[in-house]
Amino acid sequence: MSQGKDVANTNFDRRKFLKLAAAGTAALILGSEVVDSAMDIGLNTITDGMEESTPPEFSDILIPERNPNYLPPQSILAESFNIYRHWQTNDPSLPHLSFHHLSGYASDLSLISNIPKVFAPSQEGFIGHLSNVIYDSESTRKELFLESSCYRPFTEFSFSNLIEIVGYDVGAGLVTPTTNKFLQEYNLSKEDFYHLLYDENTSGLSDEQTEFLRANIVKSISQATSYFTKTRQESGKPLSLATSIAYFLYQNKGQIMPSLFDATLYAKLFVRNNLETLEPKSTYQQAFNYSQLFLDQFSPRTSLNWLVSEIESHGRPPYLLEDSPIATEQFKNFMPINIAGVSYHGLNLTALAAGCMSTPVLKKYSLAYYNARHLGYFDIRAQHGSNKVRADIQVVSNSDKIKETIRESIK
């Protein structure tokens, strides 16, 4: 949907949104299946009214009705656990799979106690307030609750420098050990460390300290890339995302949450940053390289793998290779740079479902994120396109199954 389009003309208009938002508040009190069903209906209508067009170069091409590589997130998880268990049979010293919720796990009850401002009387209800929090100023968001790692997914931010990669860390094995090593090397507490990162009254990190962090994180990323590249060459085809999760399970000694964060972070940095400098970089070549290394298993219809193959055979139309310009928002489903983000979105939401949020909270968070246009904010859906939005919603809708798969894996 174009940003200037009247939301009253969409199938899911402001009035319906406010009713659903009120249901979100009622769910905190009633917890009824009826209200939960209303949330599911809301999730399934998020893409209503979105503008979708087929580029001229694809007018004579049969667009797939479904992505043959698609797997629900719980199936990807189960496959990764099976790979890890197979490795255990060859290496009995490998620890069993283990799982712990993150500190600050978000449930309806914890939201009531931790975010009282979100529950102030308002016609927008809980979801409306949550939308305001997500899209409000950084200072207001920190004042409320989004400084908590459980509410701040990787995919909400672009990593513009090393400090943000370290500062936004929620327990990734690619980052946390380096941070701990840094604290020991420079005899710093965590509080001292965060003052160095963010306090304007300090001199910040020295060049030596910055290089220490960068070199160690890049080394871990490079080792992962070497493993994935070698495994890809041996298999002769792009790898399942389960291979990525399983690799990080091995590196993290069977700990599920750090491994999910690692798989997310690796996928995001691969397509959104330079893997050597960690500075922002998002090009068609990165999307192409990622499509050769991994399967897109989250896109419900047009996968990155299919899209890159078609782009390559049709002379790389320049306007489809740009970095997601708003001017071509109707073609977002055919822009490789944009679709390259589907994997890290899906992995991140899988991590949130696994150990950061209860299913009702994750559904409300998603409704708030994608429906905030009804409260006067810009239409975030236009930046992603319907394919990516639908992929996100499918992960959210499988939240309970993600949790069940993990419970079964650690019995």
Q: Residue 325's pLDDT band (boundaries 50, 70, 90)?
A: low
Give the count of beta carbons closer than 10 Å to the beta carbon of residue 138: 9
What is the Cα–Cα distance from 326 to 50, expressed in whole angstroms? Answer: 13
Q: What is the pLDDT of residue 130?
A: 59
DSSP state of 328: G
What is the Cα–Cα distance from 220 to 80, expressed in whole angstroms? Answer: 20
Q: Residue 329's pLDDT band (boundaries 50, 70, 90)?
A: confident
Q: What is the mean pLDDT of residues 181-205?
A: 86
Sequence-distant (≥ 6) Cβ neighbours of residue 198 within 8 angstroms:
167
Rounded to 5 degrees, φ, ψ at 19 are -65, -40
Q: What is the pLDDT of residues 296-323, one digit of tens each?
A: 999 999 999 999 999 998 777 888 887 6
Q: Residue 218's pLDDT band (boundaries 50, 70, 90)?
A: very high
Q: What is the pLDDT of residue 3?
A: 34
Q: What is the mean pLDDT of residues 179-193?
A: 93
Contact 351, 173 (CB under 8 A): no
What is the Cα–Cα distance from 84 to 94, expressed in whole angstroms? Answer: 9
Contact 79, 247 (CB under 8 A): no
Can you tell me whether residue 274 is helix, strand or coil?
Answer: coil
Q: What is the pLDDT of residue 112?
A: 58
Q: Residue 236's pLDDT band (boundaries 50, 70, 90)?
A: very high
Q: Where are the beta strands (DSSP E) in 138-233?
A: none
Q: CA nearest 174: which of 91, 234, 81, 255?
A: 255
DSSP per residue, 331-372: GGGG-HHHHTTHHHHHHHHHHHHHHTB-HHHHHHHHHHHHHG
DSSP state of 53: -
Give the total residue count for the chain.
411
Q: What percent of the chain has pLDDT over 90?
A: 52
Q: What is the pLDDT of residue 163?
A: 86
- The position carrying tokens 């309806």 is 108
Q: What is the pLDDT of residues 70-127, one digit of tens each?
A: 999 999 999 999 999 999 999 999 999 999 998 778 777 766 565 555 445 455 555 5
Contact 396, 363 (CB under 8 A): yes
Can you tell me whether residue 250 is helix, strand or coil?
Answer: helix
The two tokens of residue 156 are: 């909400």
Q: What is the pLDDT of residue 129?
A: 54
Q: What percent of the chain has pLDDT over 70?
A: 77
What is the Cα–Cα distance from 130 to 355, expressed in whole angstroms? Answer: 20
Q: What is the pLDDT of residue 391?
A: 96
Q: What is the pLDDT of residue 22?
A: 42
Q: What is the pLDDT of residue 25?
A: 42
Q: What is the pLDDT of residue 408?
A: 97
Q: What is the pLDDT of residues 240-275, one digit of tens each?
A: 999 999 999 999 999 999 999 999 999 999 999 999
Q: What is the pLDDT of residues 8-44, one digit of tens each?
A: 333 444 444 444 444 444 444 444 454 577 778 888 8
**Residue 171, Ramachandran bin (φ over 0: left; ψ between -120 and 50: alpha; else beta):** left
Handedness of CA 370, 374, 380, 384 (dihedral sign): positive
176 pLDDT more than 60? yes
Q: CA nearest 270: which of 247, 286, 291?
A: 286
What is the Cα–Cα distance from 28 to 46, expressed in whole angstroms? Answer: 22
Q: How many CA atoms lie within 13 A of 407 on its CB side?
A: 7
What is the Cα–Cα distance from 357 to 353, expressed in whole angstroms? Answer: 6
Contact 411, 321 (CB under 8 A): no
Q: What is the pLDDT of residue 140?
A: 42
Q: Residue 65's pLDDT band (boundaries 50, 70, 90)?
A: very high
**Mean pLDDT rounded to a whole number for the chain:** 82
Q: What is the pLDDT of residue 242?
A: 98
Can you tell me whether residue 68 is helix, strand or coil?
Answer: coil
Q: What is the pLDDT of residues 124-146, one digit of tens each?
A: 555 555 565 555 544 444 444 44
